[in-house]
Chains A and B, each alone.
Chain A
């Protein structure tokens, strides 16, 4: 500075005149850091620091310092961010681009092969591995949600020995110590209790372990069965074989309490194959027919064409009766005595005849949980029908020589077990109640627990070894048909966990304990020492041709009769002698996923209850117990299945007593249950779990004993006067005669494939696309012409006179979607896949009770029984809950309406339409008016009432006074390509816009300086489409008449939901078909689907005194003759074979 400004000492009066913040700006300006900052920030100010007079200096400094202070304090400037590149470059990694690796999710004895999408080394999303053809790239809800388990903050993060944290080295020493300690005694006193596994490496290790410790006990235990008991095949065929069903080849299927959509080991395969037989794309296709006899209401029962409600304990009788009819062998008859249900003889005769007339193309499946006798009879029926080698294959599986948990319990009671190693599972929680496993485990001297969570079993163990998640482990597994699949890690173990094969190898004192080397040894051994084969194994994710071998079997009549040499008693079931059916929960399985927030919050596919389980009772039993909902005086709509108060289900708590053991749980009325069977889902009521799982639901394991693991007779219910709130996400179950799901029987479809256009308000209202463009006229065109017509309609503006100014649909593509309601099985995989892909948060039970669940896809489940009252103010029929309903499922997400009602009402234009047909949501613009959600006729918009990601779910109402911050670990599961929304912002399905944009970008990058910017059909798979195991979702460019989605939209069954509102949704539905058998006794009631009957009742009521209902007000339509509209009169329906 030219002049040094010297300030005089402040006079006493000055000092008293108020605060002085600094004596001189010079003092501040003199610091080098500040000067440097100034230099960079405000060049003008900095340069003028030299040679300026005091007043000028002051002015400058005050202004710039103020602004600089603002800037320094990061007022206007965004916070400083950093870029952290690698030190050493990583091969193949381009930061920002995801990498996909093949791995598999092992569950019990089987596994699902998956492709893990990893961003910067951490897996964020799992897709099915399309290399494994049987599953075709489909997955289920468990697989989709398993990625969240990897980042579970409640997982075991340290190893503990004797209650104190231990290092990995200490744990490894401990394990080898155990091995050494028992070497001399050959394992006397050593016992293992492991969960089942299909891993060949583990199998080999266990063999070596048993060879080294021949006197040790190796027991395996799983609380649920998903494969038929080996005893059945052993007795009937004399071999250790498992059935593997080929549903695609079966035209007629009878399921005996078999939930093959979910509860069998190969469910993904069965669902996919079944859907292949179910899909009807034209009148030339055939459709399979499904008969289901079951006691609970499963998704398989929901798909059934004929459903019989029968107690599980009576399945043996039904199987025997069917077998007697089909084989003509009278030996089965005694087993069928005592079986009784409505129209029993006719039902069995018609069903058997249908199966018989499809020799080699029929299939009888018995549920895995049923006793061996039922399976034996089912095998016999299949053999008699010539199905073996056609629709049912038998695979030779290695016999399991593991001890049972009962044997182990006896050994512990005898005091012969000194060290117990518990491998996974959770026996303290789910072991049979009669064993009293908790006290048994406590009595063992040393218990080493190897597990992923610190759970009930860990509490009673002296050491806990933290397990790795499968996404951070090396291993292998087998799919349900035996194909060996790779389990390769996506990320190093986050918390120094150990893999199960490493633990086994250390105990066995093996030289190699590195899991990668062990897997390498196994696979190269199987593949003939070929390194290339191992690389291919890791790349594809599977070892081709390694499945269990198919073998031919021959029925041994002697074996069969020996097995069936019992006189069954079918106890009369009543209110005081109830049958309890223990089911694996659809969401938490046997309890292993209890701490998975996504699964807990996902509504159960049939009951639609989230966060809880309930004791499911039939409407008849509810009446007897006195918990039948009374309804209202004027029952305009169908009565609910419970008492709802402001949308919250107030369930009665009841005590369930079975053989002297009692548990308490809420009652929920489930239409379609066998009258005196109550369904008790397992897997809830965890006492030691994480923040999500603890205390949710009630524990059913305490009443489950080893002699009756799947069903037991002799229970009684005592209703208490306490209530419990259940978070039921779908309060109303009836379509009330509306055309929401449009259904027809297969024979009506064959005669009139465009049946959907005769249902619904569009059949009465003026045509959406103008007077000549009626659906009837559309159906006169060929499929190709219709596809082309759809393509032009997608880009032209709506009919004139509309106030709605739509955006120009002039993009390169126009996106559309079709959901095939005929194929959807309701498995919920799409819901979880969408949640994983789009960073959808969970909200907790309290908020779900308020209806604020955030899932973008809502799977509606409707019951219909034809009894909805047609009168405007309802009637007595409305007070009945269906006892034998048909189920209609419909997944609804944002339909991306071309003339979206939500767009016009946003005050800040946060939701707009883009030029390719997507209804876009700009989160940063949204101010949270919620007018858009109000205006949406489909109610598919979700609002972030709280900051679900940042705030603790049980402290939401404390706002900023509550804890904030998401655990760092959970942040890792978020998909970096999708914005994480904050409080106050509306969100909804975006047609996976991130996937669309990435595909368009990839195409443009490939195109470079050419014009080839159109994305080829099939490149983009939206999350729900990719997860769907039955390929029920089509997505693509509707301007391309040859794309899959255009072909689907050109089908006659295609309709828009609430289409008469002229919203022109881009997602349309294909109507559902049912295929009942005219010979069956219940055919008269279901000549048309129940929902259709209800529709006719409501919309075309037969009031004779008004003359023919429709002609009387036909002219008010203001259009040519009634039949031009294509609306259906009662007469038409009767002609097609409708109401009798």
Chain B
């Protein structure tokens, strides 16, 4: 037989296997790190057509979340407010501000402002705000400290794992219903609150769905 391959070729299969294993490991690690919601979504803070600052309105001025997001305790979506809601104040406050021009235009013409959607779940997931807000989950659990954001930022991964973490352990995330929109609230006493939460979950039959039908229709 003629020598087609050099002797070093004997090591090739082992090298290939090791290479493949390393490659698979790297790709898996890279995907897990870079291509999962925790990386791809957190930090997403797109430029909005109107530079609305939650830090000013919700934080400094103390406007309750539900003043604008009226549908949040009624239906599935939290209903970004209509231009009319903005104009309730801004027909008198900063009525000529150029930054608010899109709002005034929208109110006058009826054409919507094209807000960029920050928090999104896939089309096959059906999330309902009302049932969360009315049963002890505060806005901050999923949206973070919106009252400190100049620009709305995606704070939590909102992956299925993130949802299930809470669905499997609602007691660590509930709070009294009158503190839902108080994003700065912390329990006075951690252990007392833990006990209160356990009772709250038990007495009110808080059984978040853990099977597929809960969110996938």
Contacts and interface: CB of A to CB of B under 8 A. Distances in A.
Interface of A: 40-41, 67, 76-78, 80-89, 94-97, 807, 811-812, 912-916, 918, 920-924, 977-980, 990, 993-994, 996-997, 1001, 1004-1005, 1007-1011, 1013
Interface string B177-217: 10000000000000000000000100111010111111011
A763 B103 CA distance: 73
A1004 B135 contact: yes
A40 B118 CA distance: 14
B120 interface: yes
28 contacts: A40-B45, A77-B44, A78-B120, A80-B116, A82-B116, A85-B115, A86-B84, A86-B110, A86-B112, A87-B83, A87-B109, A89-B82, A94-B75, A811-B207, A913-B211, A915-B210, A915-B211, A918-B213, A920-B211, A978-B217, A997-B217, A1001-B128, A1005-B74, A1005-B130, A1005-B134, A1005-B135, A1009-B200, A1011-B204
B179 to A, nearest CB: 12
B126 to A, nearest CB: 7
Nearest to B87: A88
A1008 B123 contact: no
A915 B114 CA distance: 41
B122 interface: yes
Contacts of A921: 212
A978 B211 CA distance: 17
Contacts of A67: 34
Interface string B106-146: 11111111111100101110101011001110000000000
Which 9 A/B pairs are nearest by Cβ-Cβ distance? A914-B211, A84-B112, A87-B110, A96-B75, A81-B117, A97-B75, A96-B76, A920-B212, A86-B82
A100 B46 CA distance: 36
A993 B213 contact: yes
B84 to A, nearest CB: 4
B35 interface: yes
Q: Interface residues of A: mostly helix, strand, loop or mixed?
A: loop
Contacts of B209: 914-915
A811 B213 CA distance: 12
Contacts of B207: 811-812, 1013
B202 to A, nearest CB: 9
A85 B204 contact: no
Contact of B111 (A81, A87, A920): A87
B159 interface: no
B74 A94 contact: yes
Contacts of B113: 84-85
Nearest to A87: B110
B85 interface: yes
B150 interface: no
B92 to A, nearest CB: 18
A87 B82 contact: yes
Contacts of B107: 87-88
Contacts of A78: 120
A367 B40 CA distance: 68
Given A80-B46, A94-B75, A1008-B134, A997 B126 contact: yes
A1008 B177 contact: yes
Nearest to A1013: B205
Contacts, number: 155
B108 to A, nearest CB: 8
Given A1004-B135, A1005-B134, A977 B126 contact: yes
Contacts of B28: none
Contacts of A996: 213
B146 to A, nearest CB: 15
B81 interface: yes
Given A923-B216, A979-B217, A1008-B134, A812 B205 contact: yes
Contacts of A1005: 73-74, 130-131, 134-135
Contacts of B74: 94, 97, 1005
B70 interface: yes
Contacts of B203: 1011
Contact of B85 (A89, A95, A811, A978): A89
A87 B79 contact: no
B211 A82 contact: no
A41 B46 CA distance: 9
Contacts of B81: 85
B77 interface: yes
Interface in B28-54: 34-35, 40, 43-46
Given A41-B43, A81-B116, A1008-B135, 6 more contacts: A87-B107, A88-B82, A96-B75, A923-B216, A924-B124, A997-B126
Contact of B124 (A87, A979, A994): A979
B216 A920 contact: yes
A1015 to B, nearest CB: 12
B71 A96 contact: yes
A1004 B203 CA distance: 13
Nearest to A90: B82
B27 interface: no
Contact of B83 (A85, A924, A994): A85
A191 to B, nearest CB: 44
Nearest to B107: A87
A593 to B, nearest CB: 29
A79 to B, nearest CB: 10
B124 to A, nearest CB: 5
B56 interface: no
B82 A85 contact: yes
Given A87-B111, A990-B217, A1013-B205, A76 B134 contact: no
Contacts of A811: 207
A993 B79 contact: no
Given A85-B80, A89-B84, A94-B75, A997 B214 contact: yes
A259 B117 CA distance: 55
A1014 to B, nearest CB: 8
B83 A88 contact: yes
A812 B206 CA distance: 10
A80 B80 CA distance: 16
A136 to B, nearest CB: 28
Nearest to A1001: B131
A86 B79 CA distance: 10
Contacts of A920: 211-213, 216
Contact of A81 (B120, B124, B136, B213): B120
Contacts of B216: 920, 922-924, 979
B85 to A, nearest CB: 7
A78 B117 CA distance: 11
Nearest to B204: A1011
A990 B71 CA distance: 27
A37 B177 CA distance: 39
A990 B212 CA distance: 12
Interface string B96-109: 00000000001111
A40 B46 CA distance: 8
Nearest to A84: B112
Contacts of B77: 95-96
Nearest to A1007: B204
Nearest to A918: B213
B83 A94 contact: no
A87 B126 CA distance: 26
A329 B35 CA distance: 90
Nearest to B153: A40
Nearest to B210: A915
Nearest to B79: A95
Given A83-B115, A96-B77, A88 B34 contact: no
A914 B82 contact: no
Contacts of A41: 43
B70 A94 contact: yes
A922 B122 CA distance: 13
A87 B114 contact: no
Contact of A914 (B106, B114, B213): B213
A977 B203 CA distance: 30
B40 A76 contact: yes
A96 B217 contact: no
A997 B211 CA distance: 12
